[in-house]
Structure 1
Amino acid sequence: MIRFTRHSLKPKISGTLFIIAAMVSLFLIAGCSNSSSNSQSEATDSPTSQSTPAPTTSLAPTPSAVSDPIALQVAEMTLEEKIGQMLLVGIDGTVLDEQAKKMITEDKIGGIILYKDNIKSLKGMISLINSMKKSNTGNPAPLFMSVDQEGGKVSRMPKEYATFPSNGTMGASNDAAAAEKMGKLLAREVRSAGFNMNFAPVLDINSNPDNPVIGDRSFGNAADQVIQLGIAEMKGIESEGVVPVVKHFPGHGDTSVDSHLDLPIVNKTAGQLADLEWLPFQAAIKEGTDAVMVAHILFPKLDPDKPASLSRTIIGEQLRDEMGYQGIVITDDLTMGAIMKNYDLTTAAVDTVNAGSDILLVAHGYDNEKRVMDSLLQNVKNGKIQETRIDESVYRILALKAKYNLSDEQIPVPDLTDLNKEINVWRQTIEK
């Protein structure tokens, strides 16, 4: 049974009613189109794309506030609070500066992502995370505290933690049980530091040997291998109470451009993608994945104008309608070169919301976060985004936070002796 504490959400609703409603909420989110489920990362002048007006119908049923306390909380939130919940932001430095604090206390953002530059030592990291959680006191919901902790070259944790091998190394073992154990250990590692969301596993198939950004971040070059190991890792992360975010839909494995730097273009049809790239994501949906990250890749044969992360065709039609996914959709970082060099950031923010995204990752720049938030507010007020579209995303976000029993409670500096020993013993079995 899902447990909730008085720290889980703003205390407007009695605990018993909230438990019942959250269970109903999770059924609606995970089960609307997925009845088989049981569980559950720089700018130049650029052309400005035209934002498409919001659809007048919701992508998923919106429960009545009369019978559903989560819907009631959404109804009682201000528009500013709701949009804040849809932003997951990065900060500068290793301490909570005034700009970071303003994003939490004034903009009431829904989550934070920390990168290597934010983390220098175990004690410093714990102090930073605790200060952010303390600043969130009184806000509508606990923070998503997120990190990219994949293993191999994408490792953010400080030197006090034992290290993990790459997914490529994991793939060479082709051991699903070991992959699930890796997920559990990754989750225990990040959770010990106060994180509750991990942008892993990578479900990209490493089909292009010249790919500059995926490589051994992938479990391998075959769909079956990525499915077997990726889903096992996903379940391992989830089982330890950390939200796994599978990435990078529709698939980053066949790109020859790093989307951190510029916009990759993949000239594949929907049929070709369905035969390879989409298979791991479809498997994750079938297994009840809670969150999917969408990549900044242009697929001209699906949408000639907008990359996947901004495309209603790819998010709304393919991912949600065709694949039946009703969980959280998170964009890759909107301040990456793929977006900032080719699109207007504020228009991109509107487009991705109208496409069906729930959480916008704005990983760099307080000014960028403000521009995105102001754009969304203005475009709801002028009717280019329907407020029901905002409500739908906020409902999903609050329900997911409740499902994982998130809180902003302070955490102590952990003793890592046992955890590091377990990681090292497990790693020896993979690398033997």
Structure 2
Amino acid sequence: MPADRSLDRLANAALLVPFESTTAPRWILDGLAGGIAGVCLFHNNIDLSGGPDALVALNRALSSAAAAPLIALDEEGGDVTRIGQAAGSDYPGNAALGAIDDTALTRDVHAALGAELRGLGFTLDLAPSVDVNTEDDNPTIGTRSFGSDAALVARHAAAAVRGLQDSGIAATAKHFPGHGATSQDSHVDLPVVDASAELLRSRELLPFRAAVQAGARAVLTAHITLPGLGVTGPATLSSTVLVDLLRGELGFEGTVISDALDMAGVSGGIGIPEAAVRSLAAGCDLLCLGRFCYAEEVAAVRDAITAAVRDGRLPGERLEEAAERTAALRAWTADRPAPGRPSASGLDGARRAVGVDGVLPSPSELADPVVVELDVPTGIAVGEVPWGIAPWFPGTERLDAAAADPERVLAAAEGRPLVAVVRDAHRHPEVRRFVAALCRRRPDAVVVEMGLPVWRPECRAHVRSYGAARVNGLSVAELLGGAVRTPVR
């Protein structure tokens, strides 16, 4: 058994931790010096209101605290963005890229994203999502997926991995072995993927196999259960999934990262420290603790890991193996060339993704429209990020579909064009009812869907953007003749 001090350091080497502020607290700098593998930044750590300098300085301070610590974030582009929190992302998101189905573009967009992240001082991106989104009512994946066809998702998974890593950012294929066939959110529940082993291999695993073959440096687990594989608890805690399937069958040799351990799908009922121990025992190498596990909680996780080694519940050799894999990941990130310059491929991709069903009115017919956006709660993974076309259409009104009166909107739009903007209307009956009421009286209305275009109302034109990032909104605004300008980030 390793000595106590070295055991603490080995436990630290398995930790990817958050912190409280936009500057590096002392406990983080000391922890990195004491062997903590790295940090994961969230919205509360990133302030780009005055430009990138503050974030660059923060990441420089973190990186100087140890030899090549991992500086990570969950930046998918599209709807899940950290660097685009203030105004939305400059990258269109996976659903838009899958709708275009140009793998060269997908690689270029992710290379541009990677170059921006490297320029800001990041080394590890907990992306791309390579889940096959086969469940329309999926509350947590949706537009984060390249699509519902496994072969399409596989080829774009490989392109995204290569693009990020072309720019020196370690890519993380997620959420293994596939979160796309779920109708529950693992932040609050333990979702079930009810599929046979044969279907899982031909559908869910295909993109992960492609990502592994493309050289993905990391794979992130899913807090889901898979009875078809004989798994009754979370995949994150299953050696059948992480060792037999991911390492044995898919041949993955990189770093296995847990999805956030503060999510109820893995730690509900057992707590984060116990989930950490079981994750390591199952085959995770690096533990993403979540957003609010600060100094005290990190110490509790480390203590639980070292106690499990001393008690024989967690073999010391497993902890050493995890540390070796994480050290190899850190060495890879340290050995990357200087980043290139981000390109404008994100906006190009968003423009190419926009499609129209029906007949779009001419710019003169759309002059001075009444624009309403129907608001619904966002998923936990997305958070509060601006969306819609209001920046290009002054006077746009954001409504709560469950409480709004369609008669009031119809009265305001009398004699003027009417545009209704929705997001995943197929998942929200109150939105569908509201939009249907508008379209019955105004069949000339234009409806813009900024989520998945599953539901098509009876209207003159149905515009689909396959995402709600800033560039998706700008692309729709260009199409509708809005006062196009670039909002200040």
Task: Give the structure 2 partner of residue 392 of structure 1.
Answer: 321
Listed as ranges, the matches of 1:327-338 within 5 Å are 327-338=254-265
Among 74, 91, 94, the residue aligned to 1:148? 74
8 Å Cα contact 1:86/1:110 also seen in 2: yes
Distance of 1:238 and 1:308 partners within structure 2? 26
Amino acid at match of 1:129: N
Task: Give the structure 2 partner of residue 38 of structure 1.
Answer: none
Unaligned runs of 5+ in 1: 1-73
8 Å Cα contact 2:106/2:156 also seen in 1: yes
Change (3 A) 1:212 1:109: same
Task: Give the structure 2 partner of residue 365 of structure 1.
Answer: 293
Unaligned runs of 5+ in 2: 355-474, 476-489
Distance of 1:229 and 1:97 partners within structure 2? 38
Task: Give the structure 2 partner of residue 241 of structure 1.
Answer: 168
Change (3 A) 1:288 1:142: same
Change (3 A) 1:102 1:210: same
8 Å Cα contact 2:247/2:253 also seen in 1: yes
With the length of structure 2 as denominator, give the TM-score of the two structures.
Answer: 0.66
Deviation of 1:322 after TM superposition, in Å, equals 2.1
Distance of 1:290 and 1:260 partners within structure 2? 25
Task: Give the structure 2 partner of residue 375 of structure 1.
Answer: 304
With the length of structure 1 as denominator, give the TM-score of the two structures.
Answer: 0.74
Distance of 1:157 and 1:129 partners within structure 2? 13
SS of residue paired to 1:403: helix
Task: Give the structure 2 partner of residue 103 of structure 1.
Answer: 31
Change (3 A) 1:161 1:192: farther
Listed as ranges, the matches of 1:91-170 within 5 Å are 91-106=19-34, 108-121=35-48, 122-134=52-64, 136-137=65-66, 141-158=67-84, 163-170=90-97
Distance of 2:199 and 2:36 partners within structure 1? 38
Task: Give the structure 1 partner of residue 17 of structure 2.
Answer: 89
Change (3 A) 1:383 1:144: same
Higher RCO, Cα 8 Å, sep 6+: 1
Amino acid at match of 1:95: T
Deviation of 1:286 after TM superposition, in Å, equals 2.4
8 Å Cα contact 2:170/2:216 also seen in 1: no
Distance of 1:127 and 1:287 partners within structure 2? 32
8 Å Cα contact 1:88/1:111 also seen in 2: yes
Among 168, 181, 205, the residue aligned to 1:254? 181
Change (3 A) 1:96 1:420: same
SS of residue paired to 2:198: helix
Deviation of 1:149 after TM superposition, in Å, equals 1.4
Amino acid at match of 1:258: D
- With 219-228 and 124-133 compared, the bigger mean Cα shift is at 124-133
Distance of 1:326 and 1:373 partners within structure 2? 25
8 Å Cα contact 2:74/2:126 also seen in 1: yes
Q: Do structure 1's residue 318 and structure 2's residue 245 form an aligned pair?
A: yes
Task: Give the structure 2 partner of residue 419 of structure 1.
Answer: 342
Alignment deviations for residues 376-431 of structure 1 (CA, whole Å, 9 cap, x no partner): 11111222222211121111222222233259xxx9xx9x9x63656545654555
Q: How many residues align?
A: 347
Amino acid at match of 2:160: E
Deviation of 1:170 after TM superposition, in Å, equals 1.0
Distance of 2:29 and 2:212 partners within structure 1? 36
Distance of 2:268 and 2:30 partners within structure 1? 27
Q: Do structure 1's residue 182 and structure 2's residue 182 form an aligned pair?
A: no
Matched-pair identity in %: 33
Higher CA-based Rg: 2
8 Å Cα contact 1:255/1:266 also seen in 2: yes
Distance of 1:132 and 1:377 partners within structure 2? 25
